[in-house]
Structures are given as structure tokens and as C-alpha cells.
Chains A and B, each alone.
Chain A
């Protein structure tokens, strides 16, 4: 059913398909979930997909790690995107840590980490502030 080119196209770009799938799942989780921790999980998925994108583009079939050997014809993967992603992973870890820290503080002061409940509390706070102004 598949002619050979298409099958090769699909299989050959396996990493990129997975990147797209992960990216969409991640974004969807961020948008659709009301739980703040789940949002962070979605955000991590989303970021991981980008890491995969960078790592895939640097990989050369049959290439080794970029270490100087005696063989001058050695085929090796491009190390630069890998190093970039190392930096991006650090950024991602820092973001996750800060996000989780904020969630702990939110839980301490709102007593919930569900977005809609927090929204309700905030609406109530806004309403109270308006009515207290009206009283004066």
C-alpha cells in the first residue's frame, strides 16, 4: 500500500514525529489541566520535545561521540546542539524548581492547587475589596 518513499519518509523521521506528538501533548496538558502540578508536567513534556528536536538534528547515522581518535576519517555527531540542550535542560530544571516552589507557596496561602478553586477565591477577594470601598 505504501510506496517505498513514503514509508521511508515516515520511518526515517521517526524522531521528528515523536517530537511533534510530545510537543502537542505537552501543550495540551498545560492548557487543559486545572491542577497546577499537572501543568508543570505538561510544560516539562513540551520542553523535552524541543530537547529531542535538537538532539535528533545533530545525530549522524553511524557517528560516534565527538572524541579525538587516531582515525582521521571518524564520523562523529555534531556536539554543538547537544551542548546547547545541556544548557536548555539546566534552564528547564530551574524553571520546574521555581514552578514547584511557587505551587508550594500557593498551596500554603490558598489551601488548594486547583486552578478553578483558586480563581473562585480570587474573585471573592476582588469582590470583597470592591464592597469595602463602597462602604466608605
Chain B
């Protein structure tokens, strides 16, 4: 029976969470709803692992929705690049759920928990759908499914702090503008090509050539996705949304949402536009690269001055998005590989860090630096996990952060820009400062009188340590991530003009 399901794996990935989401609300019992959500997330993870396993050799799975052949029907097209993204998203999705069950008990009333799981599954559906689909308009639909669920998830934090509501509202305004820009871009592409299938678009855009419409379409898509992935200076929604959302939501979003948006940008840049157009090269060289470099410094420096650990990590996320974009903007296969590796590594690292902060919030009810004095003595395990994540953020050897920076610096040296490599190292040093601020408060300051030596519950510690272990494991044995990332980069890159240029040189 299972083998008959195998050809349908690409769509099951998306349909199962979509079906399970309303079920959580209808059932009305939060324990049952959690069980359904967990089984669903686990199923999505197994499917994505199977998919990743079957495309790592460079093959492509094409699934025709409803039996309609592309380009007329919607096609789900799985190659190494999106299988890798699917794997990351579903991995985080399954790890955060047991954690969320504990942490939301503290954060809002039990009667709303079933809604929480519904939103969570819808968000997961949307993110997986965006990654799996090969249809440009389908990307928009799934993007909005995940975004709408995300706005609601952020607003769940209103029980703890009412500022979550305004954060969610601003995120909604910015996110909708971003998504609408994206649709305008797709509309222009449809005008000149008459197709929405990405593979078909690529062929026809090459025929259309470099016209003003294609240039405008590209820029609209870049800005739209830039808003969604918090590209500096379009990041304004991010610090508040991450800060006031419930802990589990912050960890889930930080590790997945921006990464999926980045994937869409890569997919359009390299697969759909194929890098045929001079405007793309110019945009990446003279707009994206400088902005990425500014993000690395400005956001890191802003992180140093934050008083709240969650907010500090949010600013650091913006800086890390800068590293990913920098890798891409180097416009070489090595750079793209570095960007994709960092996408995975940062998902693991930031996931672990936000989960650890969530443990603090669970025990002491705050994530402000002033309240975390001496936390290293009262919650040694959580703090140790946090420090491990922090080291990875800096890029200390034996952590995934080191692997990312290693690839990134190598890629920038390859293109002959020594100064970029220097800037990467310099901005990592700022990361040392903001991580040290937390370490200093946690270990060197005395704990306030009367705080019990009590760890967060095991259901929260274990997922945190799972991600910390992943960040250490993939930091020592980077074979799986680097081969998957380079395979993904090849899949994205091989179709482009740049690759043939490179081969000719």
C-alpha cells in the first residue's frame, strides 16, 4: 500500500497538513489536536526526507496535480534545491511542536490552543507548498496561506504583551505589500509569456529577451520577496514580530519563514530568469551586495544595544540574512552554495537559540537581559544550550556557523574580493560582542535572591538540545549539508548563463 503512495509524495507533503489543520479546530480537544498536529508534522518530515533522498543524485520529480500536464496544469517540481528547503522546514516543524505544547500552556488560555495548532499547521502547509510548487502563481497562494497564519500566530503573543497585536498588524501591512508586489511581477511575466509554469517561463523568457517588462517584473519580485525575507532595509516588521510572538512561534518563524522567501527569490532569479538579463547582474552587484554588507554591520551593531534577548536575536537574524544574500550576490556557484549552506545552518542555529530563550521565558517570565542575571547557575542546561548556539552564531570551529563562514569566505576569495572576506570576519567579531553580553549577564552576575534552581520541562529542553546537537553534528560532519547545498546550487545554477560563461573561461 505504501508503495502506491510513493508517486504522490510531493503533493501529500502539502495536502496532509492542509487537511489536518481544520481537524484540529473541529476536534476541540487540545491534547488530541496536538497529537494530530504532531503526527502530521512527523509525516511531512518523513515525506520530505524521502524526497530529499531520491533527488540528491540530481534527478527531478515532476508531479502533475490532478493529472493535468504542465504547462496547463499546476506542476510540483522537486529538485535538490527545494527538497533541501522542504527538509529544513519540516524538520523544524516537527521539533518545535513538542516544545510548543509545553510553552503555550504558560502563554495563553487552554481554550485557544486548538486554534494555535490550526494556525501552526496552516503555516507549515503554506511554507511547504511554496517550496514544493513549480507554478509561479501557486507560490503566491501558498505564500499568503503561510503569511496569514503567521500574522495570527504572532498575535497569539498578546496574552503576554499587548504589543504583539501591533507587531502582527504591521507585519500584515508589510507582508501584504510584499506579496502584492510579487503578484505584480508575476502578472508582468504572464503578460509577456502567457504561462505560469516556472520551467515553461524560463524557456519563453529566454525567447522574449531583455525587455523593459521583464526587467520591471524582476525588480517587483525582488522587492516583494525582499520584504518577506527581511532584506535590509525592508526588515522593519521583523524585530517586533519576533520579539512579541510566543516563544515557540518565534523559533519556528526565525528558522523557516525567511528561509523559504529566500528560496523563492533564488528560484526566480536563477531558474525562471536564468540570469539572462544584465539588469539582474547589475541589481545583485550594485544593490543587493551593498545592502547585504550594510545589513551585516548595521543589524549586528543594533543587536549589541538591545536590552531584550529575543530582540537581540531578531536583529542578529537580519544580519544573518545579509550573509545569505551576500553569498548569492557573489554570483558564483561557490557563493550560491555558501548562501544555501548558511540557510540551513542558520535555521538550525537560530532555532536552537530562540528555543533556549523560550525556556528562560517559561521559567522566569522574561527575556530581558536585566532579568537574566545569574541564569547560568539556576538554569545551567538551558544556558549551556544557548551558549552553544551563540558560538555557532559567531562561527566558532566545530559548529555549523563555522562551516557557513568558511564556505562564504572561500567563495568571496574565489571571486578575488579580499575585502569582502575581511568584512565577513569583522562583522563576526560584532557577533562576539552581543553573544558575550548575554554570557556575561548569565554567568558572571549573581542570581537575584530567592530564584529557585529549576530547569524548564524536559519537553522543552529536548527539542532545544536536538537542534544544538544538529548544529554541532553538522559543524563537525558537514558532508550531508554541503553535498545537498552544492547539489541544490548546481540545480539552480546549471540552467543559467553564468554557468556557461564560467565554463567558457
- A interface, CB within 8 angstroms of B: 27, 30, 36, 39, 43, 46-47, 50, 53-54, 57, 80-81, 84, 87-88, 91, 94-95, 98-99, 102-103, 105-106, 109-110, 118, 122, 125, 129-130, 133-134, 136
CA distance A122 to B307 in the complex (A): 15
The answer to whether A30 touches B187, judged by C-beta atoms less than 8 angstroms apart, is no
Q: How many Å from the CB of A86 to the closest CB on chain B?
A: 11
Chain B binding surface, main DSSP class = helix
- Please, which residues of chain A bring their CB within 8 A of the CB of B152? 98
The answer to whether B169 touches A53, judged by C-beta atoms less than 8 angstroms apart, is no
Q: How many Å from the CB of B460 to the closest CB on chain A?
A: 24
CA distance A50 to B151 in the complex (A): 22
Contact A105:B144 (CB < 8 A) given known A88-B183, A136-B448: no
B145: nearest chain-A partner, CB-CB: A91
The answer to whether A102 touches B172, judged by C-beta atoms less than 8 angstroms apart, is yes
Q: How many Å from the CB of A120 to the closest CB on chain B?
A: 12
The answer to whether A84 touches B162, judged by C-beta atoms less than 8 angstroms apart, is no
The answer to whether A91 touches B448, judged by C-beta atoms less than 8 angstroms apart, is no
Contact A99:B448 (CB < 8 A) given known A94-B148, A129-B368, A133-B368: no
- Please, which residues of chain B bring their CB within 8 A of the CB of A39? 173
The answer to whether B148 touches A95, judged by C-beta atoms less than 8 angstroms apart, is yes
Is residue B9 within 8 Å, beta carbon to beta carbon, of the partner chain? no
Provide a sorted-by-A list of 13 A–B residue pairs whose CB atoms are within 8 angstroms.
A46-B177, A46-B180, A50-B187, A53-B187, A87-B141, A91-B144, A99-B173, A102-B155, A105-B158, A122-B163, A125-B163, A133-B307, A133-B368
- B interface, CB within 8 angstroms of A: 137, 140-141, 144, 148, 151-152, 155, 158, 162-163, 165-166, 168-169, 172-173, 176-177, 179-180, 183-184, 187, 190-191, 196, 307, 368, 370-371, 448
- Please, which residues of chain B bring their CB within 8 A of the CB of A80? 196
CA distance A125 to B244 in the complex (A): 13
A99: nearest chain-B partner, CB-CB: B172
A102: nearest chain-B partner, CB-CB: B169
Can you add 4 more A-B contacts, CB < 8 Å, to A81-B190, A130-B307? A36-B169, A53-B187, A95-B176, A109-B158
- Please, which residues of chain B bring their CB within 8 A of the CB of A57? 187, 190-191
The answer to whether B368 touches A30, judged by C-beta atoms less than 8 angstroms apart, is no
- Please, which residues of chain B bring their CB within 8 A of the CB of A95? 144, 148, 172, 176
A110: nearest chain-B partner, CB-CB: B162
Contact A53:B184 (CB < 8 A) given known A43-B177, A109-B165: yes
A125: nearest chain-B partner, CB-CB: B163
B176: nearest chain-A partner, CB-CB: A95
- Please, which residues of chain A bring their CB within 8 A of the CB of B162? 109-110
Q: Which of B148, B184, B307 contacts A50 (CB 8 A)?
A: B184
- Please, which residues of chain A bring their CB within 8 A of the CB of B163? 122, 125
The answer to whether B137 touches A84, judged by C-beta atoms less than 8 angstroms apart, is yes
Identify the interface centre among A50, A80, A98, A130: most chain B CB within 10 Å of its CB.
Answer: A98
- Please, which residues of chain B bring their CB within 8 A of the CB of A46? 177, 180
Which 8 pairs of residues, A with B, have the shortest CB-CB distance?
A133-B370, A109-B162, A91-B144, A102-B169, A106-B165, A105-B165, A95-B176, A57-B191
Q: How many Å from the CB of B208 to the closest CB on chain A?
A: 15
CA distance A84 to B74 in the complex (A): 12
The answer to whether B173 touches A30, judged by C-beta atoms less than 8 angstroms apart, is yes
Q: How many Å from the CB of B374 to the closest CB on chain A?
A: 12
B147: nearest chain-A partner, CB-CB: A95
CA distance A26 to B48 in the complex (A): 40
B371: nearest chain-A partner, CB-CB: A133
- Please, which residues of chain A bring their CB within 8 A of the CB of B168? 102
Contact A105:B177 (CB < 8 A) given known A94-B148, A98-B148, A129-B368: no
The answer to whether B180 touches A102, judged by C-beta atoms less than 8 angstroms apart, is no
- Please, which residues of chain A bring their CB within 8 A of the CB of B155? 102, 105
- Please, which residues of chain A bring their CB within 8 A of the CB of B144? 91, 94-95
- Please, which residues of chain B bring their CB within 8 A of the CB of A94? 144, 148
Q: How many Å from the CB of B299 to the closest CB on chain A?
A: 19
- Please, which residues of chain B bring their CB within 8 A of the CB of A106? 165-166, 169
CA distance A43 to B169 in the complex (A): 12
CA distance A19 to B131 in the complex (A): 31
CA distance A115 to B163 in the complex (A): 12
Q: How many Å from the CB of B135 to the closest CB on chain A?
A: 11
